[in-house]
């Protein structure tokens, strides 16, 4: 978190962040849900914090690369909450077994949602399910059928 406030966080050379990204000045965190149209793009983010006078300013810049989603591309265990001990434990399907995915349908128009609302939706669903946000994915269905084979097929794992 930035030691000086208020911090101004923008896309470099612009007056605001990309539409899919939000900054919470209270916690000093960035959060966002990019769409598939953002994959492959690189964003330069600039942070400017003033210590009270316009001459005493700290600046920093970093990049955010939006990469393709790699759902189940690795074999790392996903920490899930154990109902008996109420602690997070790494859960992993046995080698060679099918990976089970769940589809949760939320009746919202993702294209019209603000970035902060998407982040809040993801955090709320994660909290409700007792799962880390990092294992969830928002996927707009658009005009595609609401149910596909992932909603109908389940196996071990």
Give me the CATH topology for the region 7-65.
Answer: Immunoglobulin-like (2.60.40)
Q: What is the mean pLDDT of residues 148-152?
A: 51
pTM of the model: 0.59
CB 23 within 8 A of CB 1: no
Residues of the chain with CATH 2.60.40.10: 7-65
**DSSP secondary structure letters along 87-98:** SEEEE-PPTTSP
* Count of beta carbons in the 10 Å neighbourhood of residue 25: 13
pLDDT in tens, 93-121: 666 666 656 667 777 777 788 888 888 98
The more confident residue out of 111 and 150 is 111
CB 64 within 8 A of CB 45: yes
pLDDT in tens, 15-57: 999 999 999 888 888 899 888 889 899 999 999 887 766 677 8
The more confident residue out of 84 and 44 is 44
CB 31 within 8 A of CB 60: no
């Amino acid at each position: 978190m930035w030691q000086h406030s208020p911090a101004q966080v923008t896309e470099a050379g612009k007056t605001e962040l990309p539409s899919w990204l939000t900054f919470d000045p209270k916690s000093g965190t960035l959060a966002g849900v990019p769409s598939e149209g953002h994959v492959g793009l690189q964003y330069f983010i600039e942070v400017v914090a003033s210590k009270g006078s316009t001459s005493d300013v700290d600046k920093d810049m970093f990049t955010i690369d939006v990469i393709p989603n790699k759902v189940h591309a690795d074999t790392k265990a996903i920490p899930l909450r154990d109902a008996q001990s109420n602690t997070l434990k790494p859960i992993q399907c046995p080698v060679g077994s099918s990976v089970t995915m769940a589809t949760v349908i939320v009746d919202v128009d993702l294209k019209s949602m603000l970035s902060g609302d998407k982040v809040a939706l993801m955090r709320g669903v994660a909290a409700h399910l007792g799962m880390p946000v990092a294992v969830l994915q928002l996927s707009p269905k658009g005009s595609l059928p609401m149910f596909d084979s992932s909603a109908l097929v389940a196996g071990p794992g």
